[in-house]
Chains A and B, each alone.
Chain A
């Protein structure tokens, strides 16, 4: 018997378990009657379809079908949301998006909003992911040491991961505002005059990067920590016997063996970073100006919020973003498959 279930076996059996579940049991018993009939009729394969049906139906209606008709949207025009009220425009949406005199300068583009948000997103992704992996790696290394109260410290860094993006955004909006904690600290320590950080283009960008790192780093640190703990202790002991210096141990043992996990962290970080929206939106609303306007917000506003809404353009933009994500996902699947193979060896 698989020992994963041993824990369950060890619990003493209680007959009172049943008392609470009586209504559930009754319902299940009633459902069983037609299902037994269906089983007689359709056999085991029929039952498999029955078990799959609810999930796959919901999945098809709310994920697969939208995924497919997104392409249809991207070749239609108009401001109406229902397809039957929209008209075919061919590749015009994509042509509009790519209609630029210079791709380096968004103001020369017809759809400057798309390019501004794309440029913002690209910059954000590069800076945020690089910094976050660095912070996550250091955190994981620190947590992997023999420190007193390790689970407490792990919890410290993990805590913000569960907070909602709205809460995260509001907490930091409150801290970064004029009468906020940051200004208090700077004032008390260095005598800085209070400053409205979120109205400064560069500071707002830094804030978006910093806040998303704050909110997510614990998650990635945990993955890296798991990777670190999977490295056999004997390797370190062998290195110690050989008198290897610590920095050398880190670069020749720890880092190479952690590479698969770092790759997973990198790709997952990229995937999430490309879609950045909630925290930044609550924190800055995309401002000041359009300095923290990212792709998802652009798609959202094009599709729903702006006065000149254009679902077709939003769909085309979302497909372009989706293409990036698909590539990243493929890389991730390839990476994790390679990891699995390594594990088998």
Chain B
């Protein structure tokens, strides 16, 4: 059992506030990912949970117990660091054993746990080597192994894959996922990479400037971003935003005029009045070429990126708005050409001037 709850956690370094009123409830066995741009406070938040830092105010509970003053060593958590932080002067085996020896565990039990972790992570062949003699991927496994042998109530992972090359990162991602399925232990994972967050998380916490922007499952965040920031952060290429004006706010639909079109979004938007300016979001993947004679926005193509399986086009509307579209397959388009782009009204997201979601 490990349920981690945060109540109004604040952290400031001198006059500089890094975390503001963080409320979170992490359930047992969840894989929670903290994601956000660099400097958003995600690593700081993880350090508060780990006990490596003390929050300035607010409470952290683990299994209902207030742990604010409990030192890191006694919280029953294990951490995997971005640089792996393997002890360079110790062998892999000594690295794994160090924490267990500190906990005064009997030698036989230590050996058993190391053997088990080595089997699970396939690091048995280089237990006697030093970290300096290992490749990046092997170091990564050892770092995870060091956390596993501790048999912690929760794993804290601080950008653990960011030092690996792209290919290795993808395979390690899959392994981490498998590991979580197997251990069923709570994992808190920090990353700036939204794809990692989408693929790994059971729930994602989006942070910006020390505040929680949205908490939800990956698809929640993708389909119903709570604000413009989350909408822009989740998904790649990021969402297009164009200016729009509310024409009519109905009970079942909201009509908006944008880019010279009038579109009825099939959802109600609470508290909007006709004539109100809104920001309209549209994912590039939800745009397609308009068929002959069909409705569409005329766009001048400024750049074509042919990726083979899909074609990304950058364009400018007559009103000067910039659009990106991801078109499936290959298209013989060139910069300077004009095309008509189409989209489904249901795929539009409406945000007010403060960036909050309307519909």
For the complex, count residues of A whose C-beta is within 8 A of B. Answer: 9
**Given A1-B83, A1-B88; A9-B132 close (CB under 8 Å):** yes
A238 contacts the other chain (Cβ, under 8 Å)?
no
**Given A1-B88, A5-B88; A12-B83 close (CB under 8 Å):** no
Contact B88–A13 (Cβ < 8 Å): no
Interface secondary structure of B, over-half rule: loop
B31 contacts the other chain (Cβ, under 8 Å)?
no
Chain B residues positioned under 8 Å from A11 (CB to CB)? 130
Closest beta carbon of chain A to B146's beta carbon, Å: 15
A55 contacts the other chain (Cβ, under 8 Å)?
no
Stretch of B89-97, B235-243, B261-269 with 4 or more beta carbons under 8 angstroms from chain A: B89-97
CB under 8 Å from chain A, chain B span 127-142: 128-133
Contact B130–A13 (Cβ < 8 Å): yes
Which single member of B83, B84, B86, B94 contacts A13 (CB below 8 Å)?
Answer: B94
CB under 8 Å from chain A, chain B span 223-248: none
- Give a binary string over B44-82; 1 marks a CB under 8 Å from any A CB, 0 the rest: 000000000000000000000000000000000000000
- Which bucket holds chain B's interface residue count? 10 to 19
Contact B84–A12 (Cβ < 8 Å): no
Closest beta carbon of chain A to B293's beta carbon, Å: 62
Chain A residues positioned under 8 Å from B94 (CB to CB)? 13
Chain A residues positioned under 8 Å from B90 (CB to CB)? 13
Chain A residues positioned under 8 Å from B91 (CB to CB)? 13
CB under 8 Å from chain A, chain B span 76-132: 83-86, 88-91, 94, 128-132
Chain A residues positioned under 8 Å from B88 (CB to CB)? 1, 5-6, 8-9
A41 contacts the other chain (Cβ, under 8 Å)?
no
- Give a binary string over A152-172; 1 marks a CB under 8 Å from any B CB, 0 the rest: 000000000000000000000
Which single member of B84, B129, B132 contacts A8 (CB below 8 Å)?
Answer: B132
Contact A13–B132 (Cβ < 8 Å): no
Residue on B nearest A32 in the bound complex, by CB: B102
Contact A12–B129 (Cβ < 8 Å): yes
Residue on A nearest B83 in the bound complex, by CB: A1
Residue on A nearest B163 in the bound complex, by CB: A1
Query: Considering the chains assembled together, what is the distance between the CA atoms of A161 and B94 in angstroms?
Result: 43
A10 contacts the other chain (Cβ, under 8 Å)?
yes
- Give a binary string over B274-299; 1 marks a CB under 8 Å from any A CB, 0 the rest: 00000000000000000000000000
- Give a binary string over A1-31; 1 marks a CB under 8 Å from any B CB, 0 the rest: 1000110111111000000000000000000
Chain A residues positioned under 8 Å from B133 (CB to CB)? 9-10, 12
Query: Considering the chains assembled together, what is the distance between the CA atoms of A5 and B83 in angstroms?
Result: 14
Chain A residues positioned under 8 Å from B132 (CB to CB)? 6, 8-10
Chain A residues positioned under 8 Å from B84 (CB to CB)? 1
Closest beta carbon of chain A to B312's beta carbon, Å: 37
Query: Considering the chains assembled together, what is the distance between the CA atoms of A105 and B295 in angstroms?
Result: 107
Chain A residues positioned under 8 Å from B89 (CB to CB)? 8-9
Query: Considering the chains assembled together, what is the distance between the CA atoms of A5 and B88 in angstroms?
Result: 7
List 9 A-B pairs, minimum CB-CB distance, nearest first.
A9-B132, A13-B91, A9-B88, A5-B88, A10-B132, A9-B130, A13-B130, A1-B83, A8-B89
Apart from A5-B88, A12-B129: 12 A-B pairs, beta carbons within 8 A? A1-B83, A1-B84, A1-B85, A8-B88, A9-B130, A9-B131, A9-B133, A10-B130, A10-B132, A11-B130, A13-B90, A13-B128
List 15 A-B pairs, Cβ < 8 Å. A1-B86, A1-B88, A1-B131, A5-B88, A6-B132, A8-B88, A9-B88, A9-B89, A9-B132, A10-B132, A10-B133, A12-B129, A13-B128, A13-B129, A13-B130
